[in-house]
Amino acid sequence: MTSPKLDLSVFPRFALLEGLTPVQRLSRLSSALGEVEIFVKRDDLNGLGGGGSKVRKLEFLIGEALASGADTIITVGARQSNHARLTAAAAARAGLKCELVLTRVVPRYDDDYIENGNILLDSLLGAQIHDLPASANALAFAEERADTLRAQGRSVYVCPLGGSSAVGCLGYADCAGEIAAQADASGISFDHIVVPNGSGGMHAGLVAGALALGKSPTSIIGYTVLSLADQARSVTLDKTRQTLGLIDPTLTVPDDAIIIDGGQLGEGYGIPTDGMHHAVRLLASSEGLLIDPVYGGKAFAGLLRDVETGRYRPGQRILFVMTGGLPGLFAYRSAF
């Protein structure tokens, strides 16, 4: 379905997705807003481990792990990491042992956050959990743990935060081709694609894919939920260049290819905002769709604000990538 320029068949890949994720028009919400048409790319709709966008990255990450002969995968994240949950699920599907190095970087201490949501599912999925304080260097711990297991004869693959290595980002380069094919098939062109930007892998992959397809990357807008805008832009630009280098080393990434909006970060990663509360409730009550409070909620809040302020022109079509993370709503029960 994709351009020959976006042929990713040379990369090891372990199938986790079950076909294309649908694109749906938010009819009621679009009518209520009155200015733009809003569509969603339902990357929350895949059956593995509760669903979510990280599955796209994990197809390539697990593929690389298996190709290297790994029997164990270790990854890192916050205590309520969606990536950690889905890594545990993908590892179970692939027959790999999984260890999760989780830090308490979000200042929430209620029982729901500490024991419910993703962390409950991590355990059910068979992962071994290492619970570290906020000050810990999770990746250094993961590498040390990997060395310990290797000394015991195990073969270990260490996966970075969010699965956002260049290999992981290939999952969203592939998604750029999927979106382009769906747009062509439906006759609907999207003026902007809106995503949350955490570790930057989704954003980087989509931009790399767009460039490989010969499309403008500046239609893709990321709302940072983890870092300040300048840092998020720098990290995402670097990952985009690494990813495009894997796809086609002859192509370059313009300095202005990454657009980051920092207006929805609030007090920091995982800390609720009024805009997030409004966005989660509005999408649920108007369309029956659930987005998470850490990523999707803040990014959708940014989309709504920018419709109100006129950033998006009347008549434009906006595609919002729904990343999943539904278990996070249960962890944030007290915030609602």
Q: Which residues are catalytic?
A: 81
CB 64 within 8 A of CB 155: no
Specify which residues 130 forms β-bridges with. Answer: 101
Q: Is the dihedral of CA 239, 146, 295, 126 positive or negative?
A: positive
Residue tagged 């979000």 (tokens): 106
Q: How many residues appear in the chain?
A: 336
CB 168 within 8 A of CB 200: no
Helix, strand, or coil (residue 245): helix
Cα 247 to chain centroid, rounded: 20
57: Cα within 13 Å, side-chain hemisphere: 30
Residue tagged 């949350």 (tokens): 196
Specify which residues 75 forms β-bridges with. Answer: 100, 159
